[in-house]
Amino acid sequence: MTPDIRFPLNPQQQAARAWFESLRDRICAEFEAIEREAGSDASFAYTPWDREAEGVAPGEGGGGVRGVMKGRVFEKVGVNISTVTGDLAPGFAQTIHGAADNPAFFATGISLVAHMANPHVPAVHMNTRFLNTTKNWFGGGADLNPPLPRDEDTADFHAVLQAACDAHDPTYYPRFKAWADDYFFIPHRGVHRGVGGIFYDHLECADDAAFDANFAFTRDVGDAFLAAFPPIVRRRMNEAWSEEEYRTMLEWRGRYAEFNLVHDRGTLFGLKTGGNIDAILMSLPPMASWS
């Protein structure tokens, strides 16, 4: 299922949109395969939505598709795609790269958050996107969020991301890992949201060569996520857990919710650009607790 888009896309925009939609399809198929291995028939349910803005007819501002699955292994996983355009609100435009003097924007991307039923299986977040303002750029990343961290899982996840980065620029992984460590931090708690990953933004595409290079890197980040996360799920999904470990997971989910509601820039961007509320808040866990 694809969003209802009733405005022209240039070749770069169309290429990015098509890639994000194809990555969504592959990720959802892999996650459903894991559910089958666990004896579950859970599948993704897809809900299309239109960007809501004053004076904009359905489809003219773009929209997206919210995909959600609730299963035996994935207690709640959302995989969303969107392609939207319009004008940013004046105050918000000042905060967006390249939009301070012109509020017109285009954005297309994929966003994923998975909350797992077993406390030994890490939750995970992944997002990649292509934006146009007066500048064109790619951004995104992936980070692992285990309630009960395991060194092997952390090392494997980072190794795959590092390999993807190193294939393009040996400075990428240390830079983007540090960026993730800084960004995915909960200041009011004084703790990191998880065990990190990579985060990058504003990889500018001033010409076709830069677009090709940054698009290739962004595709490799998506492929790296698909290579890194499912093996960890399969490694841990059948492990037994205790009530104490389950309570630990619920408390950790509370921290995750706090970050996404208070500090996450993607949440704010969605809310400020007429995005679908359910799609924006799909990152919140199905259950959480605060002591």
Q: Which amino acid is at 241?
A: W
Q: What is the DSSP string of 202-262?
A: EEE-SSHHHHHHHHHHHHHHHHHHHHHHHHHHHHHTT----HHHHHHHHHHHHHHHHHHHH
Residue range 28-47: mean pLDDT, rounded:
98
Q: Say how many domains are in the chain.
A: 1
Q: How far is CA 110 from CA 79, 154, 266, in A?
A: 7, 23, 11
Write the pLDDT tens digit of every residue in 236-269. 999 999 999 999 999 999 999 999 899 887 887 8
Residue range 173-199: mean pLDDT, rounded:
96
Q: Which range of residues forms the domain containing residue 271?
A: 11-283
Residue 146 lies in a domain: yes
Write the pLDDT tens digit of every residue in 98-152. 899 999 999 999 999 999 999 999 999 999 999 999 999 999 999 999 999 999 9
Residue 1 lies in a domain: no
Show Cβ contacts of residue 130 under 8 Å, excluding neighbours closer than 6 positions. 12, 13, 16, 20, 107, 108, 109, 136, 137, 138, 215, 218
Distance of alpha carbon 200 from alpha carbon 216, whole angstroms: 14
Average of per-residue pLDDT values in the chain: 94
Residue range 57-86: mean pLDDT, rounded:
94
Residue 250 lies in a domain: yes
Residue 2 lies in a domain: no
pLDDT score recorded for residue 89: 84
The candidate with the shortest Cα–Cα distance to 260, out of 278, 286, 283, is 283
Q: Based on the residue annotation, tell me whether 97 is a catalytic residue of this protein.
A: no
pLDDT score recorded for residue 93: 85
The residue count of the chain comes to 291
Residue 3 lies in a domain: no
Q: What is the CATH number of the domain that holds 75?
A: 3.40.1500.10
Catalytic position from the list 120, 125, 158, 192: 125
Residue 176 lies in a domain: yes
Residue 199 lies in a domain: yes
Name all contacts of 263-270 with Cβ < 8 Å and 24+ positions apart: 263/186, 263/187, 266/111, 266/127, 269/96, 269/107
Residue 56 has pLDDT above 80, yes or no: no
Residue 52 has pLDDT above 90, yes or no: no
Show Cβ contacts of residue 277 under 8 Å, excluding neighbours closer than 6 positions. 271
Residue 127 lies in a domain: yes
